[in-house]
Amino acid sequence: MKSCLIVIDVQESFRHRPYFDAAALPRYLQAQNALIAAALADRIPVVRVLHADEPDTPDNPFSHASGLVRPLEGLMAFDAALTVHKARHSALVGTGLDVWLVQQGIGRVVISGIRTEQCCETTARHASDLGWEVDFVTEATHTFDMPDTEGRLLTAEQIRHRTAAVLDGRFAQVCSVAEATARWQAA
């Protein structure tokens, strides 16, 4: 089965959000870069997804006018097989990515990027519902602490664990970088 790595929203925009915390960034980037390097070495197509939305003004870090809708510093440089810009949580809405995946004969998508519980999880669920096998590489996703509806702080680590628990065996195969690599090599 042909696989494709999808790198979601790994962009400078996040450095300009009030919740940005760079402390865990090196660990995440190490895993993300290892996953990209493995895909490139195995000739697995790598898709870059960037989030861009309105208003298109310099003060919106997710607008093209901000100049921040570009790869995050520290992400390894790579030539993407496809680059798409999305304005929704799922990378499969309004981007043409779904059509491209079908045209390329892709049967499995490998999900990585920023934010674990938002765009990465939403894309994984959407891809599963559309019939793709999904590998969700939790260690190659990144997120930030956030309060729950009662004001208690959920740590990024708790959010990653929760996302892995709700996806695994239902919408995706949750795996490590090494496991994802082994799965596409075996296909």
| CATH number of the domain that residue 150 is part of | 3.40.50.850
pTM exceeds 0.85: yes
pLDDT attached to residue 139: 96
Residue with tokens 């990515």: 97
Q: What pLDDT score does 61 carry? A: 97
pLDDT of residue 15: 95
Residues 119/89, Cβ–Cβ less than 8 Å: yes
How many distinct structural domains can be found in the chain?
1
Give the three-class secondary structure for 101.
Answer: helix
Strand residues in 11-101 grouped as ranges (E): 46-51, 82-86
pLDDT by residue for the chain (187 residues), tens only, comes to 999 999 999 999 999 999 998 999 999 999 999 999 999 999 999 999 999 999 999 999 999 999 999 999 999 999 999 999 999 999 999 999 999 999 999 999 999 999 999 999 999 999 999 999 999 999 999 999 999 999 999 999 999 999 999 999 999 999 999 999 999 999 8
At 11, phi and psi to the nearest 5?
Answer: -140, 155
Give the C-alpha distances (Å, rounded to integers) separating 76 from 15, 36, 132, 180. Answer: 17, 8, 27, 19
Which residue in 112, 105, 106, 60 sits closest to 87, CA to CA? Answer: 60
Q: What residue numbers bound the domain in which 15 lies?
A: 2-186
Q: What is the DSSP letter of 11?
A: B
pLDDT of residue 180: 98
C-alpha to C-alpha distance for 120 and 89, rounded to whole angstroms:
8
Q: How many CB atoms lie within 10 A of CB 75?
A: 19
Q: What is the pLDDT of residue 107?
A: 98
pLDDT value for 106: 98
Q: For the beta carbon of residue 62, count every other beta carbon within 10 angstroms.
A: 21
> Can you give the pLDDT at residue 54?
95
